[in-house]
Structure 1
Amino acid sequence: MSVLIQYYNDFISRSADPRVKQWVFMDNPLPTLAIIAVYLLLVLKILPLYMKNRKPFNLTRIIRLYNIFQVVACILLIYMYLTAGWIQGEYSIGCAPVDWSNKPNALRMVGTFYWLYCLKGVELVETIFFALRKKFNQISGLHVYHHSSTFFLTWIGCKFVGGGMASVPSMLNSFIHVLMYTYYYMSSLGPEWQKKLRPWKPRLTICQMIQFTILIIHSLSAFHPECDIPKYFMLLYLPNLVLIFKMFYDFYKDSYKSKSASLNHHQREKKIS
C-alpha cells in the first residue's frame, strides 16, 4: 500500500497542474469519488426505497428553471472557452498542447475547465429529479454511468490537462447540451409541445452520437509522436468515448429503430388486410 501511495504522490508531483492545487476539490480525487459514491447510493438504493410508497413529486417548475440554468451555463462556458485563446488564434483543431503558464488566457482556460467540472457535478441532480418523480425507467445504466464518469473525467481534465485540445470536446459537448436542455424546457410546457417536438427526440440522440464520433476522431491526433499531450489521459478518455458511443447507439436502436420497424410492420399489415 505504501508503494502505491508513493507512486501516486510521485505521479501527482510530475503530472498535475500546480495552478489548480488550492482550488476546492482539486487537491486529490477523494472528494469527487465520495460525491460519486453518495450519488450512486442515493439514486440506486436510498431514493427508490424512499419513494416506494410515496406519490411522485411535482417538480415541473424546478425542472424548468434548471433547464434554463443549464442553457445559460453552457452558452457562458462556450463563450469562456472561445475568449480564452480560440478567437485570438492561439488554438486550432487537432493537436494543441496545454499552456501551463500563468498568462491571462492560460489561467482563463484552466479556470473554465474548473467551472465545467462544477457544472458536471450539478448535473448529478438530474437523476435525483427522476427518482423523486418516480421516473425510474429513466435511471438507466447509460444515464448513471454517463453522469458519474463524466464528472470524474472533468476532474481529471482540470487537474492534468486544463487547456489545449481538451477544450474542443468541452465546447462541442456544451453546444449539444444547449440543444438538449432547450428541448427539455420546451417539452416541459405541456402535451402540445411534446407532440410538436416528438420528431426531434431521436435526432438529439443522433446529434450526441455524431458528437462522440467527431471526438473519437479528434482525440486520435493526440497519439501522434510529435503531439505534446499527456498520453495517459487519452488512454482513459478514448475508451470511455467508444463505450459511451456504443451505449448511446444501443439506446437509439432499442428506443427508436425498433419502434419504427414495429410501426412499419403494423402499417403493412393494415394495408394487406
Structure 2
Amino acid sequence: MENVQPVSPEPTSRGIFLIRLLNLKSLPLACLYLAMIFFSSTWQKYTKPLELRKILLLYNMGCSFMSLYTSLLFLYGLSVATSIFQKEFFSELQQAYFMYWFVKNVELLDTVFMILRHRSRQISFLHVYHHCSMLLLSELTYHYYPWPAIAPFVLVNSFIHIILYFYYGQSAMNPAQRPTWKKRMTQLQIAQFLMDLALATWGYLFHGFCIYAILYGVTMLCLFLNFYFKAFNSKKAT
C-alpha cells in the first residue's frame, strides 16, 4: 500500500494572526525593551538621576503634535471609507497606520527617560504592558490589517495621546505646579477603553471581528481601573 503523507491543515485565522505576530520586526525591539527594564536597577545603582526637563518638554510636545497629525490622517481615511466595519486593505489609511507605528516606537522613550531620571516607581506593569503591546499591535496593523475597521480604535487612542502628552509637556514646563486635571485625564482614558469594548463587541457579534480586540480591551480597562482606584480613591490619595 502506498504511503500517503498527511496533509497539514491550513492555519486558522487565529493561527495566522499569531504567526504574523511572532514574525514582526518589532518583536526583537520589544525584547530589548523588556531587557532594558530588567537591568535598569543596575544602571540606577551606579548613576545619578538626570533632570532632562527641557528634553522632556520638547519630547512630550512633539509626541502630542505627532498624535494630532496621526489623528488627522485617520480622520481623512475614515471619511472616504464606505464603512467603519470594512475589513479590507485601504490605501488611504496606509500612511496613517505607518505614522501610528512610528509614534509607538518613539513613545518607548517614556521608559528610557524614567530610567535616566530614576523614576522606577512609574514603570508599572500597566506602563510596560501598554507600551510593549502597542508597539507590536501597531506594526501588525500597518503590515497586515490597514483596514477601516481598526481605524476607529487607533484614532481614539491617537486623540487621547494628544491630550496625554500635552499634559506631560505642561508638567515638564512647570514641575512645581503640575496641571490639576490628571484625574480627568485618567477618566478619559477609561472612557476610551469602554468605547473600544463597545465597538469591538458590536463588530464581533455582527461583523466578524476577531475576539482578540475584546480580550485586549478588557485587559486594558481592568488595568486602568485598578490604577484609577489606587491613585484617586484610596485613603492615601485622599
Instruction: State the shift of 1:158 in Å.
Output: 2.0
Q: What is the TM-score normalised by the length of structure 2?
A: 0.86
Instruction: State the shift of 1:84 in Å.
Output: 2.0
Which residues of 2 match residues 54-203 of structure 1 at below 5 A? Answer: 54-86=47-79, 88=80, 90-92=81-83, 96-100=85-89, 106-194=90-178, 197-198=179-180, 200-203=181-184
Q: Which runs of 4+ in 1 moved over 4 A?
A: 5-8
**Structure 2 vs 1, CA of residues 85 and 145 (structure 1 numbering), >3 Å: closer, same or farther?**
closer
Q: What is the TM-score normalised by the length of structure 1?
A: 0.76
SS at match of 1:96: coil
The answer to whether the 8 A contact 1:68-1:182 is kept is yes
Give the CA RMSD over aligned residues: 2.7
**Structure 2 vs 1, CA of residues 6 and 130 (structure 1 numbering), >3 Å: closer, same or farther?**
farther
SS at match of 2:169: helix
d(CA) in 2 for partners of 1:73, 1:29: 27
**Structure 2 vs 1, CA of residues 191 and 39 (structure 1 numbering), >3 Å: closer, same or farther?**
closer
What is the letter of the counterpart of residue 222 of structure 1? G
Are residues 1:247 and 2:223 paired? yes
1:35 paired residue among 29, 36, 40: 29
Are residues 1:215 and 2:196 paired? yes
The answer to whether the 8 A contact 1:74-1:178 is kept is yes
- Deviation readout 1:235-260 (Å, 9 max, x if unpaired): 22221110111011111111110047
- Relative to its length, the structure with more helix (as a share) is 1
How many residues are paired up?
230
Aligned residues with identical type, % of pairs: 24
d(CA) in 1 for partners of 2:107, 2:9: 34
**Structure 2 vs 1, CA of residues 58 and 178 (structure 1 numbering), >3 Å: closer, same or farther?**
same
Gapped regions of structure 1 (runs ≥ 5) = 16-25, 101-105, 264-273
- Deviation readout 1:117-173 (Å, 9 max, x if unpaired): 121111111111101100000000110011101111112222332121210011111
SS at match of 1:97: coil
**Structure 2 vs 1, CA of residues 49 and 256 (structure 1 numbering), >3 Å: closer, same or farther?**
same
Gapped regions of structure 2 (runs ≥ 5) = 1-5
- Deviation readout 1:192-244 (Å, 9 max, x if unpaired): 531xx23x11111111000000010011122235x2x5x4xx32222111011
